[in-house]
């Protein structure tokens, strides 16, 4: 495997950043994960737009023009011979002596890109079964709209899920409303067939998959309501599911040990999953 690190393609096993990198010292950086399908990136444009937004929000300068970044992403995919899988991109505020204040503005941001293959059959098997999730208090900071590498609450929540025999954890805010998953957006389907997901204005990352699924829903003539929902409403929902670049739409069949709907993956989540790649942008 090959990784891109600050201008060089290096063997993955030797791909390192300095101990004084601000990503390492302060989680002072942002990232993106983009699906690779048939050797091509899925929704690259939207992921790059969100990257630029994340960088702007924390005032890291854009390390290179987006066209150049696109070349690096594609080259990393190519060198790793990834047909189906994911490409990961991380940008940090660079290497500087440990000090909370921003470093000298001349400090170049650090860029790392990795790519790896993933067997689509595995994801399909998981989706066919449906996943169990748990709920945990949302103890994150307010700026979860920024895709930062500061993911400790997400790490702890997902590990708690795994220890409980589940795959994902849904964060719940102080009002009892579900915000999102540890690495996914959260959705339910109401008794009258409406899709419900939390508005992206607060409490969640605006998932690219979430945005694209809204278009998929429209094509399938499903109604979408962007509003908050409680754990109680989710427990009584007809279906629940999660979305992300790595999960597309994956049905949730158990929440905190209680079955959702008939306890099997529902038709709405399945239809969204099946139609996702007809709507997602795949550059060739």
Interaction of residue 180 with ligand PMP, rule CB under 6 A: yes
Q: Which residues of 58-82 are buried (b: 16+ CB within 10 A; e: fewer)?
A: eebeebeeeeebbebbbebbeebeb
In the complex, what is the shortest distance from the CB of residue 33 to ligand PMP, in angstroms, rounded to a whole number?
A: 5
- Stretch binding ligand PMP (CB under 6 A), from 61-69, 179-187, 217-225, 272-280: 179-187
Residues 218-247 that bind ligand PMP (CB under 6 A): 243-245
Q: Starting from the edge strand earliest in sequence, which strands make up the sheet with 29-37, in order?
A: 8-11, 2-5, 110-117, 85-92, 29-37, 40-41
Q: Which two tokens stand for residue 265?
A: 């993956």
Among 22, 210, 254, 273, binds ligand PMP (CB under 6 A): 210
Q: Which of 213, 134, 210 is nearest to 171 (CA)?
A: 134
CB 136 within 8 A of CB 159: no
Nearer to ligand PMP, 89 or 268 (CB): 89
Nearer to ligand PMP, 21 or 168 (CB): 168
- Stretch binding ligand PMP (CB under 6 A), from 75-83, 118-126, 127-135, 201-209: 201-209
Burial (CB count within 10 angstroms: exposed 0-12, middle 13-18, buried 19+), residue 117: middle
The residue whose two tokens read 């899925």 is 42
Residues 82-121 that bind ligand PMP (CB under 6 A): none
In the complex, what is the shortest distance from the CB of residue 7 to ligand PMP, in angstroms, rounded to a whole number?
A: 26
Confirm whether 147 is a catalytic residue. Answer: yes
Q: Which of 284, 247, 282 is nearest to 46 (CA)?
A: 282
CA 191 to chain centre: 28
| Candidates 122, 147, 194, 219; catalytic one | 147
Interaction of residue 135 with ligand PMP, rule CB under 6 A: no
**Which residues, in sequence order, are bridge partners of residue 251?**
241
Interaction of residue 205 with ligand PMP, rule CB under 6 A: yes
Among 183, 197, 250, 275, binds ligand PMP (CB under 6 A): 183
Nearer to ligand PMP, 78 or 143 (CB): 143
Interaction of residue 33 with ligand PMP, rule CB under 6 A: yes
Neighbouring CB atoms inside 10 A of 124's CB total 12
Count residues contacting ligand PMP (CB under 6 A)? 13
CB 209 within 8 A of CB 250: no
Nearer to ligand PMP, 92 or 185 (CB): 185
Nearer to ligand PMP, 54 or 185 (CB): 185
DSSP string for 35-101:
EEETTEEBSHHHHHHHHHHHHHHTTPPPSS-HHHHHHHHHHHHHHTT-SSEEEEEEEES-B-SS-SS
Among 54, 110, 114, 185, binds ligand PMP (CB under 6 A): 185
In the complex, what is the shortest distance from the CB of residue 49 to ligand PMP, in angstroms, rounded to a whole number?
A: 11
Active site residues: 147
Instruction: Name the residues that contact ligand PMP, by CB under 6 A.
Output: 33, 180, 183-185, 205, 207-210, 243-245
């Amino acid at each position: 495997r090959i990784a891109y690190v600050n201008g060089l393609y290096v063997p993955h096993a030797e791909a390192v950043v300095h101990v004084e990198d601000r990503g390492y010292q302060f989680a002072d950086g942002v990232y993106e994960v983009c699906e690779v399908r048939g050797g091509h990136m899925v929704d690259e444009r939207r992921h790059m737009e969100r990257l630029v937004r994340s960088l702007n929000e924390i005032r890291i300068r854009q390390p290179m023009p987006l066209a150049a970044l696109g070349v690096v992403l594609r080259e990393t995919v190519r060198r790793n011979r990834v047909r189906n899988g994911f490409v990961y991109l991380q940008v940090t505020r660079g290497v500087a002596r440990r000090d909370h204040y921003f470093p000298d503005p001349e400090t170049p941001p650090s860029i790392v890109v990795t790519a790896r293959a993933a067997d689509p059959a595995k994801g399909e098997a998981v989706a066919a079964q449906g996943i169990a999730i748990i709920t945990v208090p949302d103890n994150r900071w307010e700026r979860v709209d920024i895709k930062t590498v500061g993911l400790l609450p997400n790490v702890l929540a997902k590990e708690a899920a795994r220890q409980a025999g589940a795959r994902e954890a849904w964060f719940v805010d102080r009002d009892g409303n579900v915000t999102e998953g540890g690495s996914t957006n959260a959705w339910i389907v109401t008794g009258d067939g409406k899709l419900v997901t939390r508005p992206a204005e607060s409490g969640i990352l605006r998932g690219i998959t979430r945005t694209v699924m809204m278009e998929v829903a429209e094509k399938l003539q499903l109604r979408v309501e962007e509003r908050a929902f409680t754990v109680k409403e989710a427990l009584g929902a007809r279906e629940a599911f999660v979305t992300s670049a790595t999960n597309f739409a994956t049905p949730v069949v158990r929440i905190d040990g209680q079955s959702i709907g008939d306890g099997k993956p529902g038709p709405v989540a399945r239809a969204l999953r099946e139609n996702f790649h007809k709507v997602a942008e795949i550059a060739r």
